[in-house]
């Protein structure tokens, strides 16, 4: 794994994705939206978990949200190092169909050592999330 330097822009954030093997494997992309990162999981047939619906695999959604929160913390702190996960809880609200998945993060509280992040994922309509997650991270 290549080293990750300070994150000062969305371009730096996309380079950080390239340095995180699982984020790279999922194909996570970072875009700027309203002066904050918007995370995108492009649709891939390999991410389908239930072929009958079809629906994205819950583990893929969870991995995407966890990585989005880590990347968002790295961007917001403009600091080196990858935050370590302490606790992660996800609520699956509806089936995620075969299309791109988007996520936005909000840092609810950040101290010197621990941060709490709320993550929301949606597909066609941000007002109809497919999943939400809450995570606590130990800051490097």
- For 59, the domain range is 10-138
- Alpha carbon 93 to its chain centroid, in Å, reads 17
What CATH number has the domain bearing residue 128?
A: 3.10.129.10
Written as six digits, the tokens of 43 are 């649709």
Answer yes or no: is 20 within a domain: yes
Write down the pTM of the prediction: 0.91
Long-range contacts at 19-25 (CB < 8 A, ≥ 24 apart): 20/67, 20/70, 20/71, 20/82, 22/63, 22/67, 23/67, 23/71
Number of domains in the chain: 1
Answer whether the bond into residue 4 is a cis peptide, omega within 30°: no
Answer yes or no: is 4 within a domain: no
Answer yes or no: is 5 within a domain: no
pLDDT tens, position by position, 58-89: 999 999 999 999 999 989 875 567 899 999 99
Query: Is it the case that residue 18 has pLDDT exceeding 80?
Result: yes
DSSP state string for 90-104: EEE-S---SS-EEEE
Q: Can you give the pLDDT at residue 2?
A: 46
What is d(CA 93, CA 72) in angstroms, rounded to the nearest whole number? 22
Query: What are the beta bridge partners of residue 110?
Result: 115
Answer yes or no: is 96 within a domain: yes
Higher pLDDT, 31 or 6: 31
Answer yes or no: is 87 within a domain: yes
Answer yes or no: is 74 within a domain: yes
CB contact at 8 A, 111 and 135: no
Answer yes or no: is 2 within a domain: no
Higher pLDDT, 75 or 102: 102
Query: What value does the mean pLDDT of the chain take?
Result: 91
Answer yes or no: is 19 within a domain: yes
CB contact at 8 A, 22 and 1: no
């Amino acid at each position: 794994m290549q080293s990750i330097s300070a994150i000062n822009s969305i371009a730096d954030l996309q380079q950080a994705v390239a340095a995180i093997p699982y984020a790279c494997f999922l194909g996570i992309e970072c875009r700027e939206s309203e002066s904050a990162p918007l995370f995108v999981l492009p649709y891939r047939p390999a991410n389908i978990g239930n072929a009958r619906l079809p629906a994205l695999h819950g583990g893929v959604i969870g991995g995407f949200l966890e990585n989005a929160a880590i990347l968002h913390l790295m961007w917001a702190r403009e600091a080196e190092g990858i935050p370590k996960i302490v606790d992660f809880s996800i609520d699956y609200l509806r089936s995620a169909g075969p299309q791109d998945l988007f996520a936005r993060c909000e840092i609810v509280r950040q101290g010197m050592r621990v941060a709490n992040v709320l993550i929301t994922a949606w597909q066609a309509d941000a007002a109809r999330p497919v999943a939400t997650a809450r995570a606590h991270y130990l800051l490097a």
